[in-house]
Amino acid sequence: MTADIETVSSRQVYENAWLRVREDVVRRRDQSIGLYGVVERRDFVIVAPLQDGRLTLVEQYRYPIRARIWELPMGMWPDDSEIAAETLAEAELREETGYRARELTPIGTVLMGPGFCDQRGHVFVATGLVAGAPAREATEQDMRCQDFTLDEVARMVGDGTLQDGMTLAALGLLRLRGMI
């Protein structure tokens, strides 16, 4: 079977600690030539801290959109370390919320933006939460953390308060699995 798209050439056009951008010249099945800009990023985790009918969200300033937004705790390592997704989820949960989870359950994977990016998000639900102090990075110094009832979260989705795509996708997985 012939690939739908064949890479003719590829060149890296930008790189920093969190991402790399490459430009690929491609040939389609009909032999026409095209161009793709591809953002390469390491996988990340999304953690849904759930306890007693409440979900914990974090709010922080997101520079690219120049706004503060609510979202589930999430993150990735900014270096080349190979770490299990569950280990990263435990670390992100502790870092952003201070919580430790007695149980961390994987519930699915989401794609960041498969039309331009190769990054995958591994979604976990954290239960049996034990409170502690957050250990936030410098980029998270403005972050705040708050528990919301499931009705409040549903309202935030409905009225557009929650807009982060990965948070909405994770909430959808939680809902489909009957967890919220």
- How many independent structural domains does the chain possess? 2
What's the token pair of residue 84?
């299990």
How many angstroms separate the Cα of 82 from the Cα of each of 44, 78, 153, 174? 12, 11, 33, 27
- Whether residue 32 is found in the same domain as residue 64: no
- Whether residue 16 is found in the same domain as residue 102: no
- Whether residue 63 is found in the same domain as residue 89: yes
- Whether residue 78 is found in the same domain as residue 153: yes
pLDDT in tens, the chain (180 residues): 567 899 999 999 999 988 999 999 999 999 999 999 999 999 999 999 999 999 999 999 999 999 999 999 999 976 767 789 999 999 999 999 999 999 999 999 999 999 999 999 999 999 999 999 999 988 888 999 999 999 999 999 999 999 999 999 999 999 999 999
**Residue range(s) defining the domain that contains residue 58:** 44-176
> Residue 51 in 3-state DSSP?
strand
- Whether residue 98 is found in the same domain as residue 27: no
Looking at residue 102, which CATH number applies to its domain?
Answer: 3.90.79.10
- Whether residue 27 is found in the same domain as residue 75: no
